Amino acid sequence: MLQLSSNFHRARTHNMAVTCLYTTLGLLFGAAVAFGPVPRITWEHREVQLIHFQKPEVFNYSTLLLSDNKDVLYVGAREVIFALNSVNITEIHHELYWKVTEDKKTKCADKGKSKQTECLNYVRVLQPFNDTFLYVCGTNAFQPICDHLNLVSFELRGKTEDGKGRCPFDPAQSYTSVMVDGELYSGTSYNFLGSEPIISRNSHQSPLRTEYAIPWLNEPSFVFADVIRADQNSTDGEDDKVYFFFTEMSVEYEFVGKLMIPRISRVCKRDQGGLRTLQKKWTSFLKARLICTTPDKNLVFNIIKDVFILKSPSLKEPVIYGIFTPQLNNVGLSAVCAYNMSTVEEVFSKGKYMQSATVEQSHTKWVRYNGEIPKPRPGACINKEARAADYTSSLNLPDKTLQFVKDHPLMDDSVTPIGDRPRLIKRDVRYTQIVVDRVTALSGSVYDVMFISTDKGALHKAISYENGMHIVEETQLFPNFEPVQTLLLSSEKGKRYLYAGSNSGVVQSPVAFCDKYSTCVDCVLARDPYCAWKPHEASCINILKEDEIERDWIQNIDGDASSCTDKVRENCLHHTFKPGNIAELKCSQKSKLAQVVWKFKDHILKIESPKYRLLEKALLVFNLSEGDSGIYQCLSEEKVKNKKFSQVVAKHVLEMKKIQSTTVGPTQPATETEGNSNVPKISTVPTEGSTAQTSPTQLISITGRVITKPIIPILTSAASNPDIFNSVPDGVIEKTMFLKSNDNFLLMFLFLFFFVLFLCLLSYNCYKGYLPGQCLKFRSLMLLGKKKTKSDFSECEQSVKETLVEQGSTQNQNGEQPKPAHDTGYETEADCGNGQIQHDDSSQAFKEVKDKPFDVKCELKYADSDAEGD
């Protein structure tokens, strides 16, 4: 039974390989028609140093907060709050379990919610309150509560407050909050059903909230909130303002179905509400549409996913960065739009309002309001001008103004992005979160570096320059490709890290991987404002980690690497080959913007020739002969702004080997290697050469030949005609056929083999009388035909054994990759290797085949001797 199941296992992995192939084709196709810049480098999860934090049984690490200067990262997860060392998040300073009482859980479950998931306490608010306390809120089984967390004892104060309006009831609902001078501003829903949206201020002196009315908030989905402080140097006495970002259902556009609209809204910090009209409600709530469309309006990005407001002393004004997607997003389009704060201010302080007009009976339509606007201007903050007119507080604003803003919270003017177009449009990706860092490059130019996370656990780092966008790199933050739900940037000097939260854990990543670039050209072509080349150390360094900047460092964000003087790396790999073989010359070239060029004896190779085949990370040379000996160089050519930079990535020397043995075989299946190399690599098979070699040996392709080989000779008797295989086919069709028939043979062989094995076991057991009496008849039959059966078996056994001995003579007992004894083919690095799935699972099949004959042999012998003894 074990054999059968492993047989099935093989069939399944085979299908998996096929699926992988299709996926790759899909990806290639996608890349061919890709929209937007391609990340220059992709770092796999294991390639870069990331720090992970996760605790067993703890999920939904959805809220992150950095302490101002204490090197602490606070993490709000499901039922737990952690305080971690922000320099190394694996170090837990404190943890606090904040669980729902059993009684609350039961009540929640009685209302039809899931006791295992929804009726738990999801931490949704984690805000700094003062030096010793954090303000925290959790969903608490659909009865949101808030409390103060003592940072010294890491205990809750225990004076729970009703979290209604500050924290959602439902963990699946959107929420946002920001703490401003000890008062919590939040956007969330106010009831159990989540049907009553609210933007509120939680304050003892003057709690305020939005009207519960469609013109104010219409099924919003909150994404972000932040405060923008008034300019201290300005004389207009403006107020600090709190901005909210959300997507809501449009009232102003007619559309088949629901049209969503991205919005920015704002309230003033000194708002006290109205005295009669708008009592305990915002008198300064205004909202406007955020525009994020291509200039030709063909692509409309109307769902806002996340916002980051870049505030920096070097900036004249804050810049708002938003991530958008279209409403119907089956192709996975995402965009980044940036807005000037002054543009936003202008819309709210000078723009036109919208008003609803009743057309026909009950149908309302929103149109621009062109009538007289009451004074003071509705929705404006109380500034110097208002105070001069004796309006010292919103409480003494005239009813006319308040009534107007109550009915007209929506602006007719929209907020247009900087440059009237998205900064970045990218296809085949769904962006989830964004943070932006402002970096001064060596040249003194300032770059806004955008870190954008995806729903597949990756992070894109992008910079914009005069007329375009460059994605420096893509980093796989989470190995399981889950969505990144929170992104946080620590911009403290010397401690710049990114923190990403997901359902399964938190990841800490450096902002740049400069040390990954080993040459000056590579370091400069990365066009990463954090990285520069330090010539006397010959290393690529992060300039923000250095104490002082030196003159001779090389950096060029335009990608001009001409001041680099890299020496050509002289280490080459030697390979020996046998005539007729195939050589696989590895060349792993990370940049996706570069082209690979191969040179042989200093001449550019014509890859189109059937003699060669260019793979993603290697060159195959078929049918090797004396004339193919020599030096092969792999060059990476990268063109930036019409300048081409090329560097030697790998150097191989091919030498013909003196033939010392004339064994059949191992030469041929190299063909198979070639056929299989189309299969993308998924996992690396740890390989260790069984023979000592100075250079690591590539065994993967060799594995392939060992496994499948025994089968073919048996079933096709092709072994008697080795020339068929020795002449290397050059067409693709031939190879695929080889692969296919090969597989069928293997399956058929395995089937026959196991069938015979089954008969064997059955007869043996029958013979021994382990089986019930009915088989006695069968037994006597078997005994009669014993001779025949026996010979059948020994034949089969022998042929299997033979090939195995031939192939497996170097096979290590510890299950290491087999390597043929008679022919070393050629030798090259070990970490290369394509089509590993195939080889991998074939090698498993091989092991089965290998193990089995001896079992059979054993049992048969026993049966035989037993029979003889009878």
446 part of the interface to ligand NAG, by CB under 6 A: no
In 3-state terms, what secondary structure has residue 267? strand
73/341 with CB nearer ligand NAG: 341
Residues 6+ apart with CB under 8 A from 318: 228, 309, 310, 311, 341
Q: Quote the CA–CA distance of 655 and 574 in Å, as a whole number.
A: 7
Q: Determine, following the binding rule CB under 6 A, whether residue 414 of this chain makes contact with ligand NAG.
A: no
**Are 181 and 158 in contact, with CB atoms under 8 Å apart?**
no
Overall size of the chain counted in residues: 870
Kindly state whether residue 413 participates in binding ligand NAG, applying the rule CB under 6 A.
no
Residue type, 373: I
Binding ligand NAG (rule: CB under 6 A), the pick from 13, 203, 340, 629 is: 340
Report if residue 503 touches ligand NAG, rule: CB under 6 A. Answer: yes
Q: Which helix (H) or strand (E) holds 359?
A: strand 354-359
Residue 453 burial (CB < 10 Å; 0-12/13-18/19+)?
buried
The minimum distance between CB 59 and ligand NAG, in angstroms, equals 4
- 394 is written with which tokens? 């919103």
Interatomic CA distance for residues 870 and 858, integer angstroms = 18
Query: What's the CA gap between 568 and 585, in Å, rounded?
Result: 18
Binding residue (CB under 6 A) for ligand NAG from 7, 150, 206, 343: 343
Among 95, 219, 317, 816, binds ligand NAG (CB under 6 A): 317
Of 7 and 504, the one with the shorter C-beta distance to ligand NAG is: 504
Using CB under 6 A, pick the residue from 172, 331, 604, 607 that binds ligand NAG.
172
Binder of ligand NAG out of 36, 40, 41, 59 (CB under 6 A)? 59
- Count of residues engaged in binding ligand NAG, rule: CB under 6 A: 11
**Tokens at residue 849, please?**
């085949």
Burial of 406 (0-12, 13-18, 19+ CB in 10 A): buried
Q: Give me the least distance between CB of 317 and ligand NAG, in Å please.
A: 6
**If we measure between CA atoms, which residue out of 515, 507, 491, 597 comes closest to residue 84?**
507
- Closest approach, Cβ 416 to ligand NAG, in A, equals 6
The least distance separating ligand NAG from the CB of residue 57, rounded to whole angstroms, comes to: 11
What would the two tokens of residue 810 be?
């170097």
Least spacing, CB of residue 121 vs ligand NAG, in Å: 12
Alpha carbons within 13 A on the beta-carbon side of 228: 24
Residues in contact with ligand NAG, shown as a per-residue x/- string from 533 to 562 under the rule CB under 6 A:
------------------------------
Residue 403, both tokens: 């009534």
Q: Does 60 bind ligand NAG (CB under 6 A)?
A: yes
Site map (CB under 6 A) of ligand NAG, residues 297-316, x = contact: -------------------x
Least separation in angstroms between residue 163's CB and ligand NAG is 16
CB of 367 to ligand NAG, least distance (A): 26
User: Which is closer to ligand NAG, CB of 154 or CB of 192?
Assistant: 192
**Buried/exposed 264-288: b ≥16 CB within 10 Å, e otherwise:** bbbbbbbbbbbeebbeebbbbbbbb
Beta carbon of residue 56, minimum distance to ligand NAG (angstroms, whole number) = 13
CB of 342 to ligand NAG, least distance (A): 6
Rounded to a whole number of angstroms, the minimum distance from the CB of residue 719 to ligand NAG is 54
Residue 418 is a binding residue for ligand NAG (CB under 6 A): yes
Nearest CB to ligand NAG, comparing residues 456 and 857: 456
Other C-beta atoms lying within 10 Å of the C-beta of residue 196: 14
Partnered with residue 471 across adjacent β-strands are: 462
Residue 482: CB minimum distance to ligand NAG, A: 7
A 10 A CB-CB count for 699 gives 24
Find out whether 405 and 381 touch, Cβ atoms under 8 Å. Answer: no
Q: Which is nearer to ligand NAG, 499 or 764 (CB)?
A: 499
Among 50, 63, 128, 57, which residue's Cα sits nearest to residue 89? 50
DSSP at 580:
T
Taking the least distance from each CB to ligand NAG, the nearer of 67 and 504 is: 504
394 sits near ligand NAG (criterion: CB under 6 A): no
Give the footprint of ligand NAG on this chain (CB under 6 A).
59-60, 171-172, 316-317, 340, 343, 418, 503-504
